Each structure stands twice: as structure tokens, then as C-alpha cells.
A and B are shown apart, each in its own frame.
Chain A
Amino acid sequence: MLLNGRFGGNVTLAWLTGVILVGISLAEGLTGYFLVWDQQAQIIARELFRALDILPIFGEPLSRSLLSQSSMSNMLFFIMLFFHIMAAIGILVFVWLHVNRVARPRLAPPKPLLYATLILTALVSVVWPAKSNLQADLDAIPTQVNLDLFYLFWVPAQQIIGPVGALTLFGIGFLVVFTLPYWLRRRATPAPIVNLDFCNGCRQCYEDCPYDGIVMRPRTDGAPFAEEAVVKADGCARCGACVGACNSGAIEMDGLSLRTLQPAIEERIRALPSGGVRVLVLSCQASAGGQAGAIDGLAGVANITVPCIATVHPFLAEYGLLAGADGVLLVGCPAEGGVYRLGNQWMEQRLEGSRHPRLRSTSVWEVNPSEGNGIFTLGAGAGEIAALRALIREIASKSDPGKHEMRGTG
């Protein structure tokens, strides 16, 4: 997320709840370790209470509950158990909030990753079991202990700079991270707009929006359809997937729509020298094709950049061929780690025909079925320009100039 620079606008809720999730996970770990009541628990209790006692929220220092072994109350364990359980419930609640504005959240990790993690964790826990330290004794000073520095990273820091320093640092760090979306917000690109004259309420944009950007509502313009699409700007990531989803070209985002991209493609292809091979590249802005200089020095190549490869309606790929390109290449982000969610998936499914809007299997296919349909795809991140250029050269070398030329028109 950080690397993608995707925090502002519609993912702010995910960001804020994400930061809180990290905090709750920390609390879950610390309270769990407390319940063991070994020397590590004693250190957690001592250092945690030392820090909390600085805050003017407790009438009596919490440290006093750690006075001595004989005076320690069992109540403390019940309170910690309570927080331990609350943290677990909190994680569930906050994960729900966290993905609240993400459509089709992928909650389970990919199967291989899940199994690898389970098996390896089980293995490591057998080979290298987690042992408790010596039993806690408040009347003794712990000296050499084994600490879980994943959860207790702050203890050494607090011992060095003191609780006031540690708490201040932690507070400032938390505030900065928490408010990062605010500091890094960018000038908002305009949200898509729906032109009701063309919208027939087919719901495809609603189905394809990877976030929470489209709602369907009862028709307001008297047209003979049940519903119309409405863009919810604050749930929209400006990915353009809805632009590519709309068969009627009813959605336009920042000047991009089926209706504006079609003439743009034609113009760019016609501008390429005729006679040689002509390749049209449609690139996601974050992919290799979206980088400056990606196609420099490649003759006969036109590159059009869009926010996300799902912005491209499959008809536009077909139209590239009809307008004279010998090959059309759609470049999205790498399979895992796309900037916007689901873009590549939608693009592939539209092209293979398993998702609306589908690539039409008419005119283009008939040109030369044995050589494929002249439409190629690639997932390549910003650093993979070389792979992109290699594929473009391969496409160019395999194509006969002019084979898909529109016959009798244009």
C-alpha cells in the first residue's frame, strides 16, 4: 500500500483501521504474554505500567498493583484476560471495518501461502518450542531473560530513553502514521460521471468496481429502465474499471470513456508510419508501459496510458486492430500487487469471454485464427520495461503489416 502510494480518499478508512489493527494486535500479544506470568510477563507489566502511569488517566498508579508477590491481586489476571479477549473481538470488528469499502475483499490468503505458513509454523514450534521464562517473582529483580522482541521491541527503548521519552516517541510516531493519508493527500482527480442518456442500468459497473464507488438506484430520468448507476465519489479510487465495464460508454472519468478512447486510438494508429508493422500498446499507468520512455526508440508503436488496465473496454482492443494496428498489447500491473485491485483479473476475463463486457469473437478472429487474435496481454511492473520491450519486438516480428486493416471503411 505504502509503495503504491494508495492511501488517500477512499482508502483512508482502510488505512486508519489498519493502523488500529496493528495496535490491537500488539495489545493481544502483550496481554497474552502477561497471562503466562513468567519473568517476561513481569517485565511487560512493570514497563507497561511505568509508561501508563505517566498519563493522568488513572487515579492511582497502576504500578502499585505490582508492589509485592504477596500483595498481588488475582484481579489483575482477570482484567488482562478480559482485555485479551476484547482484543481478539476487536480484531474481528476492525477487520470488518477495514474492508468495509473494499468490494470482494480477499480475506483468506492464497491456499499455498496458507498451507506453507501452517506447516512451517507447526514445524518450527516442534523443533524450537516456545518456552516460558522462570516464574515471575515481584520480590526479585529479573536479570537475564528471553524476551519476545517482536512484541516487546519498546522495552529496550524505554529502558534507554525512559518512559516519558518512549511514550512521547510512540505517541508522535502513532500520530504521524495515523494521519499519513492527510499529509500525503494529493489533488483529487475528478471522480467518474455517469451520462444517464447512455446508461441502461445493466449493473456491470457496479459489479466491477473494486471498491465502494458505484451504487445503483431507481431511475430518476424517466427512461424505461429499472435502475441507474451513481458514482459515490468518496468511495471511489479513480481506477477507471467502471469506464471499461460500460458497454454503452456512459461512464467518463477525467475525459476517459469508451467514446473518447475510440477516436484517440484511431488517431494514434493513423499517425504511425504506414507500410511497416504497427503495434498499439494500452498501458496501466503504474505498469512498465506507463513509465516515461518505455517505448522510446521502438518504431511503429503507439502507447496510450490509462489509470488501470481495466479502464480499457475490450472493444477498444478490437478497434485497435480494425483501425490498422497489427497487434494490440494490454499491459497491466504484475499479477500480485497491482495498484488498484482486480484490474488485471477483469481484463483477462473480459478478453477470454468469461466476464462482461466480452471481447467479440467476430471480425478480428476471422483474419487469421491460427495466429491468435492479435491481442496480447502482459503483467509488468514499473521495473520491467525490458520485458515489455522484448514482447513488443516479438509481436512486431510475428505480424504481417496490414493484415487486420479495416476493409472498405475509414
Chain B
Amino acid sequence: MWFLVAMVVIGTAWLSALPYRYSSDGLSMLRVSFRHPGQIVEGCRDATEEEKKNMPDHMRTDKICSRERFPVRLVIELSGETLLDRSYTPGGLQHDWPSVAFEELGVKPGKYHLKARLYESNDSAFNFESEVEFKPGRVVVLDFGRSERKFEILSAS
């Protein structure tokens, strides 16, 4: 029995610290994220008499407006090459919540001219440009709208 228990205990101990290669050496990464509400898609119409009757007193209005938001589109370029171009659907059943993005993009280490653009509607965008160095094994973190409505590099170095 001692032998069996010893095998189990040693086996568990062995299993508890196995060398594992999680990721190759010398990789670099751009992590980019935002949580931002797209602008509201304009679209109001007159409410019918029937609809008005069904509204609670304190919320009665003449117009019914969609609360739907534009998807937020994010475009990232590194020294002229497009790394990411994606639209993020607003959350919520009626698409009336903010869009949220979280991307991790592999980048070959080196210095780049980083350009980021975030479109909150068809004609309104936020821009960001900066020289950025991607070091091997390090992550450059680009966030939008954490404290202000602008892009911001969060990572150290």
C-alpha cells in the first residue's frame, strides 16, 4: 500500500510542475481593446394612436426612435500595412449597448509607425498615430476610452 500511495503522491507532484512551452521565444504582440458605444442610428417615426395608448403615462411621446447603434469599426495599420480591420456589433438584443473589442495580434518585433482609427459611425472617427517599438516577448497594449474618449498606450516601456 505504501508503494501505491507513494506512486500516486509522486505522480501528482511530478504532474504539478511539468515544463511547458506556452509560446515561442521572440514573439511580440499588439493587444488592443475598447468599450465604446457607436452613435445611435437616426431613425424616428410618428407613433400611431394605438401605440400611444399602450405607452405608460410618464413615457408617452409622439415619436418612436430606434435605439440601435452603429457597429464600431477599428482599423489598425503598422507602417502602412493593415493589421486589423473589423466591425464590432453593439451588444444587447436591440443593439443599443456599447461595442466591445479585445484583440491580440501577433507582430514581428521591430519599430513601426502605428496608426489606429476607430469609427463610431459612418462619418465620425477617432485617430491615433505613434512610433512604437515591439520588443521580443513584450506586449504593446493600446486601449481606447478607459478614462477619456481617446486612444492610449497602457503598456510600460
Contact = CB atoms under 8 A, between A and B. Distances in A.
A146 B13 CA distance: 12
A271 interface: no
Which of B2, B18, B22, B35 has the most chain A CB atoms inside 10 A of its CB?
B22
B31 A68 contact: yes
Contacts of B1: 112-113, 116
Contacts of A176: none
A146 B139 contact: no
Nearest to A139: B155
A258 interface: no
Interface stretch (B4-12, B54-62, B71-79): B4-12
B5 A120 contact: yes
Contact of A148 (B16, B137, B155): B16
A141 B24 CA distance: 9
A140 B139 contact: yes
B151 interface: no
A231 B138 CA distance: 68
B124 interface: no
B25 interface: yes
A120 B137 contact: no
A349 interface: no
A139 B1 CA distance: 48
Interface of B is mostly: mixed
A143 B5 contact: no
A131 B5 CA distance: 22
A144 B21 contact: yes
Contacts of A71: 141, 143, 146, 154
Chain A, interface size category, equals 35 or more
A149 B156 contact: no
Contact of B18 (A112, A121, A143, A147): A147
A60 B143 contact: no
A149 B15 contact: yes
Interface string B122-157: 000000000000000111010100100000001111
A138 interface: yes
Given A112-B1, A143-B137, A128 B13 contact: yes
A89 interface: no
A200 to B, nearest CB: 44
B97 interface: yes
Contacts of A60: 35, 91, 100
B2 A120 contact: yes
Contacts of B156: 69-70, 139
Nearest to B11: A150
